Amino acid sequence: MVVIAYGVHDAFHDFRHTIGMPCH
């Protein structure tokens, strides 16, 4: 979960933004 939440980066990019995790 931590690996996904902080980015795998491209695969879960939209997911991370949607759930409000910091991303570039």
Partner 1 sequence: MQFQSIDWKRGIMLGAIAGIAWGWIAMAVNAATGAFEFENTLLHNLIAFAAGGAVFGIVVSGFLSLLKERLPFKNIFLKATLLSSVLWIMLKVGGTLLSSVEPERYHPITAQSIQGFVLAIIMGGLLGFLWKIKSKEA
User: Which residue in the block uniquely carries the two structure tokens 């491209």?
Assistant: 10
User: Which residue in the block uniquely carries the two structure tokens 């795998």?
Assistant: 8
Binding marks (x or -) toward partner 1, 1..24, rule CB under 8 A?
xx-xxx----xxxxx-xxxxxxxx
CB 13 within 8 A of CB 21: no
User: Which residue in the block uniquely carries the two structure tokens 């997911």?
Assistant: 15
Catalog residues that contact partner 1 under the rule CB under 8 A: 1-2, 4-6, 11-15, 17-24
